[in-house]
Structure 1
Amino acid sequence: MTNRNWGFCELSINRNFDMNHLKSLADLGYNTIAINTYVEEATDEPKKKKKKGDVKEKKDAIPGPLEIAGEISGNTNLNILQRITVEFSDSSIAHKMNQSENLKKYDIIAVVPKTLQAFQYACGTMDVDVITFDPQTRIPFKISRKLYRQAVERGLFFELMYSPAIRDSTARKNIISTAHTYHAIGKSKNIVLSSSAESLLQVRDVHDVINLGFLFGLNSNESLNSVRNNSRRLILKSESRRYGKHYMIVENIQNDDNKIAES
């Protein structure tokens, strides 16, 4: 287990966000952020006829994470993680994800199930970290207490995004409805609050986000946990997924005498 201080977390910053403003996120009280790459569900396109002699090109269904310039990342004390969010409607997505080399480059994997079958698969089988939904539309199926509990027992987290709720009244209604569903069927367990912000103007101060939690049916402790403790647990869960449930990260630490301490 790492001893890194994850602190307050903002686990969904859109990759279109101006990275020159990353330092300002620390001023808003955050210690850790995740740059989110969103992958919409692919539509079935007609296969092109392969010409004789053409070499078959192996295409990765998952794009690589955003590369952040060293002068930008080096100018902030933020822990910067990479997150991927994938839309899907059925279990066939598993093959694309298993075959993807780019997927291994991400720290956090989130999914957007668009059907009940997809939601059942995410809760019971998929090796992912976060389940989230498009706030622009209502969830097209009923979330059962059994599936919610199953996801929580497997260590998955449910995300609520506040930035769309601020920007759009329809999204606000949908997000509040989803939040109250989580409260009714699962007592708001394993909830993380994030912004899904595309610009700095859409990100709120840590304490403002905690207060926004009341709008989503969270009490003061649940709101605090949604941006701190739950987020930390989510990150540690993602590390265990990547490295195995039992892992050790060894680092060289240089002391004041310029000697390397080994342990």
Structure 2
Amino acid sequence: MNKFSGFCDLCVPLSSSSKDMLEILKELQELGYKNVAIEQIYDHINHPGDKKNDPIPVAADLSLFSKHLKGHLRLLNRLTIIYADASITVLTSRSTNLRRYNLVSVIPTTEEAFQHACQTMPCDIISYNSDSIRGRMSRKYYFIAVHRNIMFEIKYAPAIASSNDRKDTINRAHRYHSYGKSKNVIISSEARHRFQIRGPYDIANLGLIFGLSEEQSKHAILGAPRKILTAADARRHGKAGVVVSYRNKAIDSDDYSDSELEEPSSDDQEESEEDSDNLRIEEPPKKVAKIDES
């Protein structure tokens, strides 16, 4: 059974103020969200780290927020990595802090990094920031990422706060449509204030501006996030998901109908003929008495 049910917002930046963070989470709860990912950022470009220490930040403890919300909202840890080259793979492969996050998102700032994210990087979401929102993409690598079950993210809160960000967000969303027909697209908030949050049905209508159909807009906040959460959970625990479907009447290939059972097959007829030939008893020759004529 899928434990990730309901609407999802997979990008809420971690605030330094616990009061502001709790207000955002309460607003999300009131609007009907069930799964929320709290985002922490690691900038590999400016803080590459060293071999001795783990530069990836420790996942935040969300138990205090869960206690205030009384368990009505599932809170998840999300890490967003900003990087420019493939050397990030060495760091992520030996990081112990990375395994504590439920979701791993990447922001590739170069074309080389975008290709690496689509093809090799063990991540769940490909996102963007103000510096990389106009970065080049490739249709070939877009579908490679789709095949690997990686999601492409659209953030609506910056589009509400700034007109320039609105143009860039719409441009990014339309490129998702032109390159990959908006496949594997999710819509998140990246809300830094409670007034920037919108309800699930408002986002479904907002998706039309981003080049999504009505069905794709609903899938971007419901079906696609649950799919990636399930896949990310399996990746962390080394498990594979199994889908079990039930049918009213199972048909076995070895089952036969009554008419087929009554009708003898050609093989059975040949075998019966051979058996009848083998079982045919030959009568011994009759003895004829000799008559002595003398």
Q: For this structure pair, what is the TM-score category when the shorter chain's length is used for normalisation?
A: 0.7 to 0.9
Offset at residue 139 of structure 1 (A): 2.2
Offset at residue 170 of structure 1 (A): 1.5
Distance in 2 (alpha carbons) for counterparts of 1:44 and 1:77 = 37
The aligned amino acid for 2:91 is K
The aligned amino acid for 1:132 is S
**Given the alignment of the two structures, is residue 126 of structure 1 paired with residue 121 of structure 2, yes or no?**
yes
Distance in 2 (alpha carbons) for counterparts of 1:44 and 1:13 = 23
Pair 177,239 (structure 1): closer, same or farther in 2 beyond 3 Å: same
Pair 241,69 (structure 1): closer, same or farther in 2 beyond 3 Å: closer
- 1:35-76 deviation per Cα after TM superposition (whole angstroms, max 9, x unaligned): 0001223337999xxxxxxxxx93211101221243x30224
In structure 2, the residue matched to 1:19 is: 21
Q: Which has the larger radius of gyration?
A: 2
In structure 2, the residue matched to 1:36 is: 39
Offset at residue 159 of structure 1 (A): 0.2
Residue aligned with 1:39, SS: strand
In structure 2, the residue matched to 1:155 is: 149
Offset at residue 183 of structure 1 (A): 0.5
Cα contact 1:37–1:85 (8 A) shared by 2: yes
Which of these residues, 74, 78, 87, is aligned with residue 83 of structure 1?
A: 78
Offset at residue 5 of structure 1 (A): 4.2
Question: Mean Cα displacement is larger for which, 83-92 or 61-70?
Answer: 61-70
TM-score, normalised to structure 1, is 0.84
Distance in 1 (alpha carbons) for counterparts of 2:127 and 2:85 = 16
TM-score, normalised to structure 2, is 0.75
Distance in 2 (alpha carbons) for counterparts of 1:45 and 1:63 = 12
In angstroms, what is the RMSD of aligned CA positions? 2.1
Cα contact 1:13–1:34 (8 A) shared by 2: yes
Higher relative contact order (CA 8 A, sep 6+): 1
User: Counterparts in 2 of 1:1-263, with a 5 A limit?
Assistant: 2-16=1-15, 18-21=20-23, 22-43=25-46, 58-70=52-64, 72-74=65-67, 75-135=70-130, 138-141=133-136, 143-246=137-240
Offset at residue 246 of structure 1 (A): 2.2
Cα contact 1:136–1:174 (8 A) shared by 2: no
- 1:175-223 deviation per Cα after TM superposition (whole angstroms, max 9, x unaligned): 1111101101111000000001112111111111111101100110000
Alignment length (residue pairs): 236
- 1:216-245 deviation per Cα after TM superposition (whole angstroms, max 9, x unaligned): 001100000000000111101111211224
Identity %: 37
Cα contact 2:2–2:230 (8 A) shared by 1: no
Distance in 2 (alpha carbons) for counterparts of 1:96 and 1:63 = 13
